[in-house]
Structure 1
């Protein structure tokens, strides 16, 4: 019997060639172990590390993982009854903690510069019958990209990612610190903050910046700039535009890489939107996006008339993003903590509007006649978002605007005063907006939306059971 990948024809001709080249590299002796990584429903990398001899087999058969990984919330608790009939998923093959298979994508293979003689490859999830796992979020984005390609276009996106890095003082590894989740580490600041883009602040953390720059560029990521952000110990990295799946693949690898690199050198990096530290500034993930013509690479959003912000196609796409802003919020900002960022006059959006070159608007449009970089910057996202779901929400929304030739309306030059639909203020409100968005439910699949909302509702339920420090301070003495 043929091996799993060959039996079900899971690789393209290009991937078969790439796989043969990779096996030759494994035979050369330069690699000791290969990490087979799969991005789960939260965009967190999971998988197994195989020694070289076993890795050769994984490039034929894939790697087995337990289906309980599909049932985890952000505390790594299993929130579906996996050992009941149907396993809570109502899908064959997902009950009882059975296996699914992650299949390496040979085009993602690379050496990890911070881990000696260690290779890494990203995988896609399949069921045992060779069908794509219905909850594989990378496949959801691939479907959206295929719809764009069918129109002779490609998706183009550049990433602006804010995050915090602290000095790691105490990793909180005492026996009593364990849990689900465990105690967070004790940290201290690298910068006091509030000196945005100052050279002195940058120079004071140059060892960290040099470390990240060297390692991320060695990974082949399209890094353009490293910046001191406004908040204490807050930073921003900007990555150049790439096409189709690459922006999401970059973000998944980027987050994991930064956390690993920093931990190895005595730092703690977090992409949590709003850490609980004094004078904190929230972190966002600003997504710059456009479409280009596949035939010649021309930007399809460049306006042709003076005074226009975007081309007619770009305006329709923009209108789709605006119409589905509330429905896509739970995919762009998937944590309870992320909704603490949306507040007026905070450089974070609070309503579904667009404006020409205005950072207070959710959709900041940058376009002009002859400007090949004409694009839309969506400022709704937080850096914890699953990149495949966030980008898919953008593409499906934009495609709807294009199909219906929607009009985005006028630019909102006073973004915190313009009457407009308010963005969800809580994760629960965002989930309700997603479930009410018929277009997004149809594109993502109602089964996936129900699955995703079930996991997020489990997180909300756990949060509501906790007594917060605010409640203790407010009521414990007074009443």
Structure 2
């Protein structure tokens, strides 16, 4: 007697997903794929999952694939933040006690062949509890729910990614001599060297110096179908910026996550370390950011609804969208800048925003308006993000805030000509401050749920508590590099 499989039982695939599953199997057979990495983004935006054989993957297209939810107990140093062996696992969510399994359900349309890993493909997954409900702590689910709210209102979010990062040469991996770490104590980071010298900007000589390393990354990203636009020489030594063409919704977050994973894995295979940590503790390095470009389009026609038809910088809807992102920008900080290190960007006159402002083509503003009257590419750029931000939560926080502004017709106030001198609310200057704001914020509790907000607040407070304990034992600031502590470098450099 046949048994109804998990995906059919809970109605998780519609006709589109069924067709995509059939096509995924055809591609795997045609290309001789031997392993499929099922991947899902965790609370930190890191990809986790399993590598399945082809028969196991085909089975997962019907039954899903069980995996422990244990990573959701861990902060950025794998400290165990919650006690899994309590009735609710410490989450205040029924059914999560005892570290139960969750089920990975492949999103078959995301099947991507990985050019750097022989005969290997990757598929993004959504997580479900054993009763077929979406796992409430999964960031990809949070984003999907937020975009569904936009769709109900008749809108779609179009996103462009512009992310800065560092490329360094591996000198010593330290595996034979250094600490390998423990829960709550990161391993010693590898010893690295810069790949370039001098502060420049868009210098082609710097790009040529590292072309042999960048080329396999660029080639792989293009082969995977990611809409890469450019690799740029950024401001600081060994700092680069990568930009993408526009993508919709979840596809943009998947692309950002896959880009970071691909860049790090390919670089390491070639004797380099790529890092999306904001400011590494390496002499001469500078802060990296993630500038998130967004526009709102009509869900049916695809028309850009932010285009101004008069002399205003944006349409009325676009201005209200900006108003929402400004109104909720302070509370969104844990999502846009989730690391202690990321708050080192928030300094006046540093090309990173330190307060809630908007401006016409002004890189000092939090929300930079790009375009003008009748410009079909009119959109806004949120310049507040940390390059280590979780793509799913960063985009979800932006979408929720913008939609709230549209619905409630939030006025963004006047454009700023000197954003660093405006008498407007300041953005949080530390992660600890940002956590406190989020904890008491009614808006994101309504949008993402109390359980998820309580979870993130507790998770990030663990990180801050460990950092503050280290500071108390290491008060000598003369040991910091670029003003960055050794704690931060250990915590974030190799992880992100």
Q: Is contact 1:193–1:234 with CA below 8 Å preserved after alignment?
A: no
CA distance in 2, matches of 1:361, 1:209: 31
The residue number in structure 2 matching 1:336 is 340
Q: How does 1:460-471 map to 2 (within 5 A)?
A: 460-467=464-471, 471=475
Contact 1:223 1:239 in 2 (8 A): yes
Aligned equivalents of 2:221, 2:434: Cα separation in 1? 33
Instruction: Tell me the residue number matched to 2:296.
Output: 291
**Which of the numbers 215, 219, 229 marks the counterpart of 1:214?**
219
For 2:253, the equivalent position in structure 1 comes to 248
| Cross-structure match for 1:392 | 396
In the alignment, which residue of structure 2 is the partner of 1:59?
61
Give the superposed CA RMSD. 1.5
Tell me which residue corresponds to 1:326.
Answer: 330
Deviation string, structure 1 residues 196-215 (Cα, Å, up to 9, x no partner): 10121121122122222111
2 CA distance for matches of 1:474 and 1:106?
52
In the alignment, which residue of structure 2 is the partner of 1:71? Answer: 73
Paired residue secondary structure (1:88): coil
Runs of 4+ aligned residues of structure 1 deviating over 6 Å after TM superposition are none
Give 3-state SS (helix, strand or coil) of 1:50's partner.
strand
Structure 1 pair 90–294 and aligned structure 2 pair: CA distance change class (3 A): closer
Q: How far off is 1:24 after superposition?
A: 3.1
Structure 1: how far apart are the matches of 2:426 and 2:198? 30
1:358 aligns with 2:362: yes
Task: Please list, as runs of the form range in 1=range in 2, the aligned pairs for 1:12-411 lying within 5 A after superposition.
Answer: 12-28=14-30, 30-174=32-176, 176-180=178-182, 181-306=186-311, 308-411=312-415
CA distance in 2, matches of 1:371, 1:321: 22
The structural deviation recorded for 1:29 is 6.6
For 2:372 and 2:470, the matched residues in 1 are separated by: 51
Separation in structure 1 between the aligned mates of residue 337 and residue 52 of structure 2, nearest angstrom: 34
Deviations 1:67-87 (Å, cap 9, x if unpaired)? 222111111222101012221
* Gaps in structure 2 of 5+ consecutive residues: 480-496
2:64 and 2:137 mapped to 1: Cα distance?
18
The alpha carbon displacement at 1:59 in A equals 1.6
Indicate the SS of the match to 2:89.
Answer: helix
Moved more, 14-23 or 308-317: 14-23
Conservation of the 8 A alpha-carbon contact between 2:338 and 2:388: yes
SS at match of 1:416: helix
- 2: CA distance, partners of 1:417 / 1:291: 30
Count of residues in correspondence between the two structures:
474
- 1:2 pairs, out of 4, 8, 21, with 4
Q: 1:28 Cα deviation (Å)?
A: 4.4
CA drift of 1:470 comes to 6.1
Report the Cα offset of residue 179 of structure 1: 0.3
Cα separation, 2, equivalents of 1:387 and 1:374 = 22
Cα-to-partner distance string for 1:291-320 (whole Å, 9 max, x where unaligned): 1123332210000102x1000000000000
Maintained 8 Å contact 2:92/2:451: no
In structure 1, runs of 5+ residues without a counterpart are none
SS at match of 1:289: strand
In the aligned structure 2, how far is the partner of 1:364 from the partner of 1:406?
A: 17
Q: Deviations over 1:362-403 (max 9, x none)?
A: 111113112111011000101111111111111111111111
Equivalent pair of 1:193/1:229 in contact (CA under 8 Å): no
The change in CA–CA distance for 1:82 and 1:198 in structure 2 (over 3 A counts) is same
Asked if the contact 1:36/1:123 (under 8 Å) is kept, the reply is yes
Note the C-alpha offset of 1:31: 0.9
Q: How big is the shift at 1:473?
A: 5.7
Distance 1:298 1:10 in 2: 30
User: CA offset at residue 433 of structure 1?
Assistant: 1.4
| Aligned: 1:438 with 2:432 | no
* CA shift for structure 1 position 472: 3.4
Question: Which structure has more RCO (C-alpha within 8 Å, separation ≥ 6)?
Answer: 2
